[in-house]
Amino acid sequence: MRILHNSVLLSLVAGLLSCSRADRPQVTAEGRTTKAGTQYTVLYPNQLAIRVVTRRPVPDSQQYQLSVAAAYTDLATNQPLDLLVCNGRALQARATVGFLNGVLTITGDSLRITRIASGHSPPEAVLHRVRRRQGTLLLQELLVYQGRNQRPAGGSRFQRRALVEFAAHRFAVVENQAGRLTMQQFAAELVELGAHNALYLDMGDWDEGWYRAGSRVVALGTLRTETARQSNWLVFVRPAR
pLDDT in tens, 56-91: 999 988 999 999 999 999 999 999 999 999 999 999
Give the pLDDT band of residue 239 (cuts 50, 70, 90). confident
The answer to whether position 18 is within a domain reads no
22 pLDDT higher than 60: no
**For position 20, what pLDDT does the model report?**
43
Instruction: Tell me, yes or no, whether 138 lies in a domain.
Output: yes
Q: For residues 217 and 206, what is the distance between their CA atoms, to the nearest angstrom?
A: 18
Alpha helices in the chain (DSSP H): 2-23, 124-132, 183-192
Q: What is the dihedral of CA 49, 55, 60, 65, to 10 degrees?
A: 20
Q: Residue 11 domain-assigned?
A: no
Whole-number Cα distances in Å, 26 to 16, 17, 98, 118: 18, 16, 36, 36
Q: Strand, helix or coil at 142?
A: strand
Q: How high does pLDDT run on average in the chain?
A: 91
Residue 165, pLDDT above cutoff 90:
yes
pLDDT at 232 over 80: yes
Q: What was the pLDDT predicted at 23?
A: 59
pLDDT, average across residues 164-189: 97
16 in any annotated domain: no
**pLDDT range class, residue 240, cuts 50, 70, 90:** confident
Q: Judge whether residue 4 has pLDDT over 50.
A: no
pLDDT at residue 241 in the model? 65
Domain that holds residue 220: 25-237
Within a domain: 15: no
Separation of alpha carbons 4 and 143, rounded Å: 58
Say whether pLDDT at 8 is over 90: no
Indicate the number of domains in the chain. 1
In the predicted model, is pLDDT for residue 135 greater than 70? yes
CB 107 within 8 A of CB 133: yes
- Residue 53: the pLDDT is 97
